[in-house]
Amino acid sequence: MITSDRLTKRYGDRTAVSDLSFTINPGKVTGFLGPNGAGKSTTMRMIVGLDAPTSGQVRVGGRRYPQLRHPLREVGALLDSRAGHPGRSAHHHLLGLARSNGIPSSRVGEVLETVGLTEVARKRVGSFSLGMGQRLGIASALLGDPKVLLFDEPVNGLDPDGVRWVRELMRSLAAEGRTVLVSSHLMSEMQETADHLLVIGRGRILADAPIEEVLAGSSLTAVRVRTPEPDVLGRELRGHGMKVERDAESEPDELIVVGGTLREIGDLAFTHGVPVHELTLRKASLEQAYMELTAASVEYGSPVLSQVIDATRHERA
């Protein structure tokens, strides 16, 4: 488990992370999302003791990282795929990590096999492609068989098979009861991988919730209803605080409802005796929900972002 209590980091006049409090629980994959400059990498560096907080604290398993006697046996991290010395082989890079942390040498071969680098174990790290470097970084994180794992952009440079492998690996590690925190800009992949999301913008938390809750909370998630009495049902839905939309492309018997669940809409229709011929949930994608959440927090954004979100809303119908 990772716990953060009012974690803050300032660099001179710039605040990179501001008053972050969160808990990353074991047994699930937590996606760590945010625009460039949001403070994700700074937060992960503070978790593993590479940066000291200006105020607040973060603990792993109830202790600060510097208090861990054998860090790699408790926390594994991929923060920089190029962290290995370019002149060393993959085998000797991992062997050095193992010996300095009291990890059996046999683990070196095991993790190299896990990440698919056995055949290139004796090659120099400097000759590795970006994808191979990512695999070696993941091997380093797994070396001590830790209960807590952090991965910063683990699929960079990987081909589609490699991306799928990382997804399955993350989920299998969480299924073993480990704490898994993954930062990524690939929204489609994160939607397939994460159980929970921690979203930050300009150093502050924007969302800390299960992924389904984040998607359901988007105004781009809606319910399509078809009924022969759209005016009657629309009036009742509005009376219960739901937003009912219709546009020029809608069929005469079609309503698009925002702010209500399938059950709530179906129950209201039944209560008022309104027949319903279709009731379909149209979920926002994680990319759409993420853009909506972070629109005001993008440090290097485009002025047309809000126009893209508005256009996406109209595409639902």
Question: pTM for the whole thing?
Answer: 0.81
Q: Are 297 and 34 in contact (CB under 8 A)?
A: yes
Query: Would the pLDDT of 316 be above 60?
Result: no
At 88-97, the pLDDT tens digits run 999 999 999 9
Could you tell me whether strands 148-152 and 75-78 are parallel, antiparallel, or unpaired per DSSP bridges? parallel
- CATH for the stretch 2-210: 3.40.50.300
Domain with CATH 3.40.50.300 in the chain: 2-210
DSSP notation for 37-70: TSSHHHHHHHHTTSS--SEEEEEETTB-GGG-SS
**Tell me, what's the pLDDT at 300?**
54
pLDDT above 50 (res 178) = yes
Cα–Cα distance, 142 to 129 (Å, whole number): 20
Q: Each residue of 237-287: pLDDT tens digit?
A: 999 999 998 766 778 899 999 888 899 999 999 999 999 999 998 888 899
Please state which architecture CATH assigns to domain 222-282.
2-Layer Sandwich (3.30)
